[in-house]
Amino acid sequence: MSSLMDMALIGAVMASTLRGTTPILLGALGETFVERSGLLNLGLEGMMVAGAFASFLVGFKLDSLMLGFVAAAAVGMILGLLFGFMTITLRVNQIVVGLGITIFAHASCSFLHRVIFGNQFPIMFTAGQTHEVPLLSKIPLIGQPLFNQHWLLYLTFLSVPVLYFIMYKTSLGLRIQAVGETPWAADSSGVNVLKTRYIAILFGGIMGGLAGAFMSLGDLAFFVPNMIMGRGYIAIVVVMLGKWDPLKVFLGALLFGFSMSLTSALQVAGVKVSPDFILMTPYLVVIATLLIFARSTNLPAALCVPYERGQK
């Protein structure tokens, strides 16, 4: 094992940890705000699928990566708006709407991929490019894995303290927390509950779309149906693991990304353990973490509860 666990593999693990963390973190940060506002968005997986497809389609057809990312954000926002209209305005069950959006996104993206690309799986060769951070990328061992990555990865990690600040230090963040805990109290103190929830879900949709776009244009350079592979649901678990706190959510996503990287690194390093057991690692780590740190979980009190003025 030691002969194979060389520096190159350690570097590869660091790099793949960051890349594996990014889509989960993007989705989870958005979902943190959504759930804090009292909405449970199980459509996150679908928003990631739609974001992955839309970004690849637009990016490939218009030969513009930036427009691809814009398209992903737009599609995520539209699906967020749909979720919001159904659950906030019409007060339809949030779980049903969320799952419906996921199923719809999966089916429609597979169908459209077939209609547009037939049996071709084009690759966008300009996608997946990395950008070196001057000076930092020259640091031995960690320089290249940590500071030669896609721009959206840097942006995602940098957004964590910003979103933490917004959540706890701005009036918008406090309003979002208030409508997720006691919407009637927030309403009586002049907070527009419905508008605040709409802002949260639109933000969650954008982040979900970008998470999918990172998969198809940031990490990879193509779209394959089902490529999200449940990462949207993992993001939802990470939000609960992080107790709806952006910093803790970041740590949870990083832990999961690291565990995922270990599943391949341990196999390559020649650890004499069955691959089946190694593949359980991320889930065992999450379960253990939940048991240790998340026993006193405080769900937002109004999570999944539709709000109607006058009804408590």
Instruction: Report if residue 248 touches other proteins, rule: CB under 8 A.
Output: no
Q: Scanning residues 183 to 222, which ones bind other proteins (CB under 8 A)?
A: 215, 219-222
Least gap, CB of 138 to other proteins (angstroms): 19
For tokens 């928003």, name the residue. Answer: 47
Query: Is residue 300 within 8 Å of 181, Cβ to Cβ?
Result: yes
Nearer to other proteins, 49 or 163 (CB): 49
Instruction: Report if residue 131 touches other proteins, rule: CB under 8 A.
Output: no
SS3 call for 297: coil
Instruction: Report if residue 237 touches other proteins, rule: CB under 8 A.
Output: no
Helix ranges, 88-229 (H): 94-117, 143-147, 151-169, 171-181, 183-188, 193-213
Least gap, CB of 43 to other proteins (angstroms): 19
Of 74-82, 123-131, 169-177, 199-207, the window that binds other proteins (rule: CB under 8 A) is 123-131
Of 77-85, 162-170, 196-204, 225-233, the window that binds other proteins (rule: CB under 8 A) is 225-233
The residue from 36, 113, 175, 197 that contacts other proteins (CB under 8 A) is 113
The site map against other proteins for 265-294 (x = CB under 8 A) is: x-xxxxxx-xxx--x---------------
Question: Nearest 5°: CA angle at 58, between 57 and 61?
Answer: 80
The DSSP letter of residue 303 is T
Least gap, CB of 123 to other proteins (angstroms): 6
Instruction: Report if residue 1 touches other proteins, rule: CB under 8 A.
Output: yes
Region for 140 from its dihedrals, namely left if φ exceeds 0, alpha if ψ lies in -120 to 50, beta otherwise: beta
Least gap, CB of 10 to other proteins (angstroms): 9
The size of the interface with other proteins (CB under 8 A), counted in residues, is: 49
Nearer to other proteins, 6 or 63 (CB): 6
Question: What element of type H or E holds 149?
Answer: strand 148-149
The residue from 260, 286, 302, 307 that contacts other proteins (CB under 8 A) is 260
What is the rounded distance in angstroms from the CA atom of residue 41 to the CA atom of residue 7? 41
Residue 258 exposed, middle or buried by CB count within 10 Å (0-12, 13-18, 19+): buried
Tokens of 50: 């739609």
Q: Nearest CA to 156 among 20, 13, 50?
A: 20
The residue from 172, 194, 224, 303 that contacts other proteins (CB under 8 A) is 224
Amino acid sitting at position 189: S
For tokens 């990566």, name the residue. Answer: 65
Instruction: Report if residue 120 touches other proteins, rule: CB under 8 A.
Output: yes
Instruction: Report if residue 309 touches other proteins, rule: CB under 8 A.
Output: no
The residue from 89, 96, 103, 121 that contacts other proteins (CB under 8 A) is 121
Query: Is residue 181 within 8 Å of 302, Cβ to Cβ?
Result: yes
Question: What element of type H or E holds 148?
Answer: strand 148-149
Region for 152 from its dihedrals, namely left if φ exceeds 0, alpha if ψ lies in -120 to 50, beta otherwise: alpha
Least gap, CB of 222 to other proteins (angstroms): 6
Q: Nearest CA to 281 among 261, 251, 259?
A: 259
Instruction: Report if residue 116 touches other proteins, rule: CB under 8 A.
Output: no
Instruction: Report if residue 238 touches other proteins, rule: CB under 8 A.
Output: no
- Where does this chain bind other proteins (CB under 8 A)? 1, 4, 6, 8-9, 11-13, 15-16, 19-20, 107, 110, 113-114, 117-123, 125, 128, 215, 219-222, 224-227, 229, 260-261, 264-265, 267-272, 274-276, 279
